[in-house]
Amino acid sequence: MERLIINIPDEKSTEIKSFLKSMGIAMDGPKLLDMDAYRAKIAGIGHWSEEELKALDENRRILGSFKPQEW
């Protein structure tokens, strides 16, 4: 299924939506953001400790200086 986004003039909106509905075309309504659900979702995101960040930086430095052997 393809998604089509069109701009409809306000004075024709009701007529065009009625026609599309009669043709069996589904229309999505505007999506509303549920702030409580969003806050609950991002509350579970983990945090990196300073020690973990130091270990990642050290590994990045070591891997960045790695030189593969030439044959």
In sequence order, what are the residues at sequence separation of 6 or more whose Cβ sits closer than 8 angstroms to the Cβ of residue 8? 16, 17
DSSP line for 10-51: GGGHHHHHHHHHHTT-----PPPP-HHHHHHHHHT-----HH
End-to-end CA distance of the chain: 52
Return per-residue pLDDT of the chain as tens, 71 residues.
677 888 888 898 889 888 988 988 877 776 778 889 888 888 888 888 899 999 999 999 998 888 888 87
pTM of the predicted structure, to 2 decimals: 0.35
d(CA 38, CA 36): 5
User: Running DSSP on this structure, what letter comes out for residue 8?
Assistant: -
